[in-house]
A and B are shown apart, each in its own frame.
Chain A
């Protein structure tokens, strides 16, 4: 009997150990294509971040900080964000331990303390990075002016529903099959007042205290970045370039209408 018990116990531990090991070993990060210089964009890279700044248009007082998706190399977001940079908004992509943003929730605040020359700080992220940006914003509502969420949502513990001055933008790609739709639906209770807006509509007044919810028709989860097709995702019916262009145009409008 003891032998059976011991054997079960060992088997259980062996299974847990093996699963843990497999999880780690399969923790491969998605890489983008090898980088090429981007005209008019200056890139400063440290061990903690990738800072992108326009070489010509440097007048913005707003810094956009961005958390990458889980197990996605941070460089995979440069192509999506460089359009925002070229329009004059400096962007800082946060590097996270093990390419898992959840390990560095407090890093955005530390970086804000380093970059004190800006008057406005807008946080954003993709997937796991979006969820982490919600946690970071919920912790430091007085630091961040707004939040741009791509394929993510807050949880009850990081509810943003009472963020009166918060200005939120949510992108939801119609062919995103990675995101948990049920949880996204439940999470709507944790956003400030939601206002659905069509991509073609113009925002006419500041959106403080609201969540602007935009659907990217034909877009998917993987195409928020530039790292290839993510296993389990839906097939997009628009190109990655088109998805990036739609994101860029609406983000710029959102920034401008809010005076950033």
Chain B
């Protein structure tokens, strides 16, 4: 028992000094184009769980899991992304820019099909003093399921994505940010 506790402590120690956060996001993708042409359509809603870790005071790496619908089915995917904090207003508000890569599958029978996605956009964050935050993301996204072309004519979608997140800060909180440094 003591050995396990020691092992877990050793594993956790490196993360205690680094700013980390867990968040949950709900989003809606509004499609504006496919591989056939421009078209306005609902690409589908989704849910994402994300773990994010600060590389320094302004750069963040993230990993997560996403469940959503796309135009041709239901998709489960792993995400990995990067966000850069580029402006902060007072202590509560900050603005970020970043992108995410999505690898997963669209759930089909008899076999699921590989899916790939990308998104890039802006985020506005309100951070409370209670180590939690709300964030609103607007992004442009792209989804493709190469194998679906054997079944239908549309297997790619371009979308505008609106995302609302709630998160908790873990580990050390950031110090007061140098606003001059962050201003672009």
Contacts and interface: CB of A to CB of B under 8 A. Distances in A.
B103 interface: no
A34 B157 CA distance: 20
Contacts of B67: 21, 24-25
A200 interface: no
Interface string A28-59: 11111011000000010111101000000000
Interface in B108-151: 108-110, 112, 150-151
Interface residues of A, number: 27
B48 to A, nearest CB: 13
A28 B43 CA distance: 17
Interface stretch (B15-23, B68-76, B89-97, B165-173): B68-76
Contact of A35 (B39, B44, B112, B150): B150
B36 interface: yes
B153 interface: yes
Which of A31, A32, A34, A75 lies at the interface centre, i.e. has the most chain B CB atoms within 10 A of its CB?
Answer: A31
A34 B108 contact: no
A228 B108 CA distance: 12
B31 A47 contact: yes
B164 interface: no
A97 B36 contact: no
Interface in B59-100: 67, 69, 71-74, 76
Interface string A63-107: 000000000011100000000000000000001011100000000
Nearest to A103: B69
SS class, residues of chain B in contact with chain A: strand
A30 B109 contact: yes
A238 interface: no
A27 B73 CA distance: 9
Contact of B154 (A25, A45, A97, A98): A45
Given A34-B150, A47-B41, A98-B69, A228 B109 contact: yes
Given A29-B107, A34-B151, A45-B154, 6 more contacts: A46-B41, A46-B154, A47-B31, A73-B108, A73-B151, A98-B44
19 contacts: A25-B67, A27-B74, A28-B109, A29-B73, A31-B110, A31-B151, A45-B152, A46-B39, A47-B31, A47-B34, A47-B43, A48-B39, A73-B73, A73-B151, A74-B152, A95-B71, A97-B45, A99-B74, A227-B109
